[in-house]
Structure 1
Amino acid sequence: MAAHLASFDLAFLITSVVKIVFLTFLVILPLVAYSVYAERRFSAIIQDRVGPNRTGIPLTLFGFKKDIQIFGIGGLVQPLADGLKFLLKEDFTPKSVNTFYYWLAPALTMVPALMTCAVLPFGSELDLSFLNPLITSLGGDGFTAPIKSVIADLNVGPLFVFAIASLGVYGIVLAGWSSNSKYPFLGSIRSSAQMISYELSLGLSIVPVLMVFGELNLSKMAAFQDANGWLLLPLWGEGLTVARWVLWVPMLISFCIFTVAMFAETNRLPFDLAECETELVAGYHTEYSSMKFALFFMGEYAAMIIGSGIAVTLFLGGWSIPFAPLIGLDYVAGATPFWLGLLHIGTFFAKVIVFILFFILIRWSLPRFRFDQLMKLGWLYMFELALANVFLTAVLMIICYPVK
């Protein structure tokens, strides 16, 4: 029995651990760090400043005359310097706080953002049969089929994302309440009201998408778009039919609602009322320092990255290469070459990076809403528009795909 379990679980265990380590520690966390760097450089360009441009390999600490600049572009090691600074700063805890919840809040903000990446299909599949001799030598059965580039291929992917991501608001509320300070408390109350308001629009925005796909598996949605055109770019396969182009209008509306709601859910400008410096000092994390503050910071950027990944998967084809069937790079289940699987992974993260740059551009281009304007937009416009879009999609689907 033990031998059977070992042979059955070994390949699955190895691939699961590799995918978790790759996606979390080699992709998401470095993307968080360099998203901050990109934001600082991007904002500097917009505001006609320089931004971080000096930090390199700190050889001056060892007696050399100057630091080494990477690739001739200064500042690329700035995220490492920032991380080291957070690690070495004094971890100060005010006497007035509720200590247990004060320490728990940063983790409750960071962990849900990372958990949601479990169902994100960051590629098609990888043929790892060339590792079979090694697996067999260790007592396993080896790979009988290509592995999927997703940690957990659930049939309720979007529901899992929304269910776990919504837990992040508890970390923000606890941070504001446990700080026993008026500015963090006001920021946490604002954030909870904002996230509850825009979660409705966010959830309703993908209902038309799910109606078109007829399922909740994110991997199958990406594979369908690879063969039949993206929801926002239906230019090959079934995307050339009249029905798909008729449904393009509600899909575009869904994309716009989803994007705006995602800005609000991640507390990004122009929706950063929970931490606006001009009114609330720093909002719910005013009393935090050192790595606890860094966890809030990382949680916000990780949520932005995961939100970008969901938007790319639902509306922009996920890992699908543009016009793949027309250039001979279409995906065939179970017969995808290893190099094409790697290309799919690179394509997915390239789209995510472009979406992150869009997040950054909006932050440094638009002014902040007043809180009453934010709530009015969420309840009087976004919510109603999302409901009307669900009804419009249903009517168009009945017209385009009548029941026989």
Structure 2
Amino acid sequence: MTDFFASYLGYEAGWFVATLIGILLIALPLMLAVAMIIYADRKIWAAMALRRGPNVVGPFGLLQSFADGLKVFLQETIIPTAANRGLFLMAPIITFTVALISWAVIPFGPDMVLANINVGLLYILAVSSLGVYGVIIAGWSSNSKYPFYSALRAAAQMVSYEVSIGFVLISVVLWAGTFNLQGIIDAQRGLYGFINGFGFNPLLFPMWVVFLISSMAETARTPFDLTEAESELVAGYQTEYSSMAFALFWLGEYANVLLMCALNAVLFWGGWLPPIDWAPLYAVPGILWLFAKIFFFFFVFSWVKATVPRYRYDQLMRLGWKIFLPLSLFWIFIVSGFLMLTRYGGHA
């Protein structure tokens, strides 16, 4: 795309236009997908509780998310008198922006990625860790004790599980030999000669289980939604927010959930590759395989939310620090030792 526009506008202007179009091609469908995935979430919960879910606004209730969006857009934005006005308004913007910019390095197909950088996985880790700032700023700037308690909980929770996720990703990087997400997907091709995906590898499957559970905790999904436990925190760090400021937190949360579903697919289940390394399956566009895997993992997230009761906070922290952290750290030694013996013949 850059070459096409560069032939008419020159390299700098052509690169700018091509990059801007690429950003819009990711951001606009993503925001539409967030709206529809909220509808899907509610439908899945309803089905599991033997209810009907959204079914009035639009055919099959498909326009319910847009009606909810219109409702919050028309509401008045109320800023508490004692709040820090600038930080109060900045917090939801940070949360939503960070949720979007992570998608810049996600490969949707063989050559369908906005920024195919060699340190794509490090970029994801760096950007996702910034999400805690939006939560902390929201809780502190509200000048209200319950949002502040929730923000402290959120900070501790997100940092705790980011550590485990980091060690899990080291195992993936060791096996793939690269931080580039396209390279990681290519390394998953033809496992045992016919399967695509690290998830089918007995040494990496336990790390996928840890990553899946940690990604639920990282995005504060049930059973780890202690950041908005209504029984003791009213509604969490966003208690004082209304109108579009609240909607940005809402959209950012679901964009992060979709990102974690995409990372599950990209890092462990072949990304845009078909599940089986069989030539006819490659006739299906890779982006459709990726979307199917993302939706499957989102269904798992919703399934867990509808069926698993919330953890206590001490259970949450014990799982992260006393189980996942030692396990993921020990597994690095297992994976690296196995690779040294098999791939490198025991020579450093």
Is the structural similarity TM-score above 0.5?
A: yes
In the TM superposition, structure 1's runs of 4+ consecutive aligned residues that sit over 6 Å from their partners are: none
Give the corresponding residue for 1:31. Answer: 33
2: CA distance between counterparts of 1:166 and 1:258?
A: 15
Aligned to 1:285, what secondary structure does the other structure show?
Answer: coil
Match of 2:96 among 104, 110, 134: 110
Is 1:288 aligned to 2:228, yes or no?
no
Q: Is the 8 A contact 1:19 1:149 kept in 2?
A: no
TM norm structure 1: 0.80
1:260 matched to 2:213: yes
User: Counterparts of 2:7 and 2:17 in 1: how far apart (Å)?
Assistant: 16
Residues 45 and 20 (structure 1), Cα distance of their counterparts in 2 relative to 1, 3 Å cut: same
Of the three residues 51, 68, 79, the one matched with 2:65 is 79
* Identical counterparts, % of pairs: 38
1:54 to 53, 56, 66: 56
Following the alignment from structure 1 to structure 2, what is the Cα–Cα distance between the partners of residues 298 and 328?
A: 37
Is the counterpart of residue 122 in structure 1 residue 104 in structure 2?
A: no
How far the C-alpha of 1:44 sits from its partner, in A, is 1.1
Provide the residue aligned with 2:162 in structure 1: 199
Q: Is the 8 A contact 2:196 2:276 kept in 1?
A: no
Counterparts of 1:215-254 in structure 2 under 5 Å? Answer: 215-225=178-188, 227-229=189-191, 234=192, 236=194, 248-254=201-207
1:165 lines up with 2:167 in the alignment: no
Could you tell me whether the CA contact under 8 Å between 1:208 and 1:250 is conserved in 2? no
Tell me which residue corresponds to 1:327.
279
Aligned residue identity for 1:161: I
Q: Is 1:19 the counterpart of 2:5 in the alignment?
A: no
Match of 2:78 in 1: 92
Alpha-carbon distance, 1:357 to partner: 1.1
Give distance in 2, aligned partners of 1:149 and 1:301: 23
Q: Of 292, 297, 310, which aligns to 1:355?
A: 297
1:385 and 2:327 equivalent?
Answer: yes
What are the superposed Cα offsets for residues 328-387 of structure 1, whole Å, 9 maximum, x if unpaired?
Answer: 455xxxxxxxxx5x7111211111111111111111110111111111111110100001
Q: Judge conservation of contact 1:235–1:323 (CA < 8 Å) in 2.
A: no
Equivalenced residue count is: 341
Secondary structure (helix, strand or coil) at the match of 2:61 reads coil
Deviations 1:266-297 (A, max 9, x none): 01111111111111111000000100000111
The residue number in structure 2 matching 1:337 is: none
Determine if the alignment matches structure 1 residue 276 to structure 2 residue 276: no
| 211 and 53 in structure 1: CA distance in 2 versus 1, 3 angstrom threshold | same
- Where structure 2 has 5 or more consecutive residues not aligned to the other structure, the ranges are 1-5
| Greater C-alpha radius of gyration | 1
Q: What are the within-5 Å matches in structure 2 for residues 308-323 of structure 1?
A: 308-323=261-276
Q: CA-atom RMSD, angstroms? A: 2.1
Query: Separation in 2 of the partners of 1:254 and 1:392?
Result: 11
Once residues 238 and 262 of structure 1 are traced to their aligned partners in structure 2, the CA distance between those partners, rounded to angstroms, is 22
| Counterpart among 161, 172, 176 of residue 209 in structure 1 | 172
Shift of 1:220: 1.8
User: The residue matched to 1:369 in structure 2 has which SS?
Assistant: coil
- Structure 1 residue 49: deviation in Å? 1.6
- Give the superposition deviation at 1:252: 0.6
Q: Given the two structures, how large is their TM-score scaled by the length of structure 2?
A: 0.92
8 Å CA contact 2:173–2:184 kept in 1: the answer is no
The answer for the alignment partner of 1:6 in structure 2 is: 9
**Residue in 2 that maps onto 1:370:** 312
State how far apart, in whole Å, the 1-side matches of 2:237 and 2:335 are.
Answer: 39
The structure 2 residue matched to 1:179, chosen from 142, 150, 159, is 142
- The alpha-carbon distance between structure 1 residues 369 and 237, as it changes in their structure 2 partners (threshold 3 A), is closer
